[in-house]
Structure 1
Amino acid sequence: MLFKVEMDVRVPLDYDPARFEALKAAEKARFQELQRAGTWRHIWRVVGQYSNVSIFDVESNAQLHDLLTGLPLYPFMEVKVTALCRHPSSLHDDDR
C-alpha cells in the first residue's frame, strides 16, 4: 500500500540543542534503514520549512502507524497521511 505522508517538525525553541542533534542523527539512521528496505520510497524537502513529503510502501495502515510513531522526531511532528493507488495511465509497473 502506498501512502503520501506530510511531516512538519515543530521543536520548541528552548529544547536542548544537544538532545535535538542526537534525535536528528537517530531519525536519519532510521530513515536510511527504512529507505534501504524499500519501505520509505521517496522523500522531498518542502522549501523554506522544516517539513517533508514522503512516499511509504507498507503492508497495512497499522504498519505505517507503527513506523511513524516509532520515529525519533515523532513527538515533534504534525503528520498528514493520504492513501494512494496506482493511476491507470502510469507507465511504471511498480506503482501498486
Structure 2
Amino acid sequence: MLYHIRMDVKLPPDLDPDVRADLLAREKEYSQKQQREGRWPHLWRVAGEYANISVVDVADHDELHEVLSGLPLFAYMDIEVTPLAVHPNKIAG
C-alpha cells in the first residue's frame, strides 16, 4: 500500500546539542535503511521548512505505524498520512 506522508519536525529550541546531534544521526541511519529496504521510495524536503513529503510503500496500516513510530524524531513530529490508490487515468508503467 502506498501512503503520502507529510512530516513536520518540531525540535525544542533548548534541546541539548549533543542530544540533537544523536537524534539526527539516528534518524538519518533509520530512514536510509527504510529506503534501502524499499519501504520509502520517495523522500522530498519541503523547501524553506523543517518538513518532508514522503511516499512510503508498506503492506498495511500496521506496518506503516511501525515504520513511522520507529523514527527517532517521531516524538517531535506532526505527521499527516494520506492513503493512495491508483488513478484510473494513469498510464501503465
TM-score over 0.5 for the alignment? yes
Other-structure match for 2:31: 31
Q: CA deviation at 1:82?
A: 0.2
Report the Cα distance in structure 2 between the residues aligned to 1:47 and 1:70, rounded to whole angstroms.
25
The amino acid of 2:20's aligned partner reads: F
Misfit runs of 4+, over 4 Å: none
Paired residues, number: 93
TM-score for both structures, normalised by structure 1: 0.92
Structure 2 gap ranges (5+): none
- Between the aligned residues of both structures, percent identity stands at 44
Deviation per residue, 1:7-27 (Å, 9 max, x gap)? 000001000111111111111
SS in 2 for 1:83: strand
Q: Does 1:89 align with 2:89?
A: yes
Structure 1 gap ranges (5+): none
What root-mean-square deviation, in Å, do the aligned CA atoms of Structure 1 and Structure 2 show?
Answer: 0.9
SS in 1 for 2:88: coil
TM-score for both structures, normalised by structure 2: 0.95
Tell me whether 81-90 or 49-58 shows the greater mean CA deviation. Answer: 81-90
Report the Cα distance in structure 2 between the residues aligned to 1:45 and 1:39, rounded to whole angstroms.
18
